[in-house]
C-alpha cells in the first residue's frame, strides 16, 4: 500500500473511524484499514456483478463506497476467517458416520447418492460426503456451496486438492494423508471449511450497497480509467 493511496483515502474518508479507540487504530485511516476495505469490496456481490466483464480482462478497480468502515470491518473479519481456516471450530450440525477416532485413509472424497430428478439428473447428494475409508459426513448445509473460490465452492476445491494423485511424468505420489500425523486432519479440515463457507456467506450478506462517492481532488491521474 503506497503513501499516495493512503493520502487519497484519507482525503475521501476523513471521518470513517471517528471516535475509534487508539488501541484499535485511532480516528485516522491507516494502510491496514485500506487493505481490509479492498478485501471487503472484492467480496461484494454487487461489485462482482456490476464489474464481472471488467474483472475477466483487467485488474480490479476499487470504487469509493459510501460506507468505508463497514467494508473495512467486513474485510478484516473475512481475512481472519480465511487465514485461520485450519483452526476455526468445525461446523456444529455436521454428523459423522463411522469411526471418528480412526477414519482411515482419504483416497478421493465423493458425494452421497440420492434419487435422480430433473433438477439433479446425476442424483448427487451434497449434504453427504464420503471423506475417507471409514467415515462419512452427513448434514453439510447446501448453502455452504455458495462460497466459491476460483470457480468452484470451497468444499469442492478441498475435495479436488485432497485426493491421492500420481504425477504421470515423474511418478511422484501426492498423498494428503501424509500432510499431518493427526488421523482426523482431513475430516476436521472439511468440517472447518464448512464453517468458513457459512460464516463467509453471513458476512457477505451483511455488506451494504456500494453507493459510490466522487473521486477526491488528489485522485492520481494514473488511476483514471483509460
Kindly report the number of other CB atoms within 10 A of residue 56's CB atom.
Answer: 7
Q: With contact defined as beta carbons under 8 Å apart, do 150 and 166 qualify?
A: no
Bridge partners of residue 112, in order along the sequence:
125
The mean-pLDDT minimum among 94-98, 109-113, 219-223 falls in 219-223
Grid coordinates of 125: 447428494
What number of CA atoms fall less than 13 Å from residue 141's CA on the CB side? Answer: 19
pLDDT in tens, 144-185: 999 998 889 999 999 999 999 999 999 999 999 999 999 999
Integer Cα distance of 226 and 221 in angstroms: 10
pLDDT in tens, 114-133: 999 999 999 999 999 999 99
pLDDT in tens, 94-108: 999 999 999 999 999
Whole-number pLDDT of residue 55: 84
Mean predicted lDDT score pLDDT of the chain: 94
With H, G, I as helix, E, B as strand and everything else as coil, classify residue 81.
Answer: helix
Whole-number pLDDT of residue 1: 86
Predicted confidence band at 225 (pLDDT cuts at 50, 70, 90)? Answer: low
Q: CA Rg, the chain, in Å?
A: 22
Spell out a b/e string for 165-194, using b for 16 or more CB atoms within 10 Å of the CB, else e: eeeeeeeeeeebeeeeeebbbbbbbbbbbb
Q: With contact defined as beta carbons under 8 Å apart, do 107 and 118 qualify?
A: no
Predicted confidence band at 74 (pLDDT cuts at 50, 70, 90)? Answer: very high
pLDDT in tens, 37-49: 999 999 999 999 9
Q: Is the pLDDT at 224 greater than 80, yes or no?
A: no
- Ramachandran region of residue 44, left (φ > 0), alpha (ψ -120 to 50) or beta? beta
Q: With contact defined as beta carbons under 8 Å apart, do 41 and 71 qualify?
A: yes
Grid coordinates of 222: 494514473
pTM comes to 0.90
Amino acid at each position: 500500500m503506497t503513501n499516495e493511496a493512503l493520502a487519497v483515502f484519507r482525503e475521501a474518508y476523513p471521518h470513517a473511524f471517528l471516535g475509534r479507540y487508539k488501541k484499535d487504530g485511532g480516528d485516522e485511516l491507516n494502510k491496514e484499514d485500506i487493505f481490509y476495505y479492498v478485501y471487503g469490496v472484492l467480496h461484494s456481490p454487487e461489485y462482482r456483478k456490476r464489474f464481472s466483464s471488467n474483472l475477466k480482462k483487467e485488474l480490479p478497480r476499487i470504487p469509493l463506497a459510501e460506507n468505508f468502515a463497514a467494508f473495512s470491518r467486513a474485510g478484516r473479519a473475512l481475512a481472519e476467517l480465511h487465514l485461520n481456516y485450519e483452526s476455526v471450530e468445525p461446523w456444529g450440525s455436521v454428523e459423522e458416520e463411522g469411526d471418528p477416532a480412526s477414519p482411515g485413509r482419504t483416497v478421493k472424497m465423493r458425494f452421497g447418492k440420492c434419487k435422480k430428478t430433473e433438477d439433479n439428473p446425476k442424483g448427487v447428494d451434497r449434504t453427504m460426503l464420503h471423506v475417507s475409508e471409514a467415515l462419512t459426513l452427513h448434514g453439510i448445509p447446501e448453502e455452504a456451496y455458495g462460497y466459491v473460490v476460483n470457480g468452484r465452492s470451497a468444499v469442492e476445491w478441498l475435495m479436488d486438492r485432497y485426493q491421492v494423485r500420481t504425477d504421470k511424468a515423474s511418478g511422484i505420489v501426492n498423498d494428503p494423508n501424509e500432510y499431518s500425523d493427526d488421523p482426523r486432519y482431513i475430516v476436521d479440515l472439511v468440517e472447518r471449511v464448512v464453517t468458513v463457507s457459512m460464516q463467509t456467506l453471513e458476512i457477505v450478506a451483511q455488506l451494504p450497497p456500494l453507493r459510490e462517492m466522487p473521486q477526491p481532488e488528489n485522485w492520481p491521474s494514473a488511476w483514471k480509467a483509460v
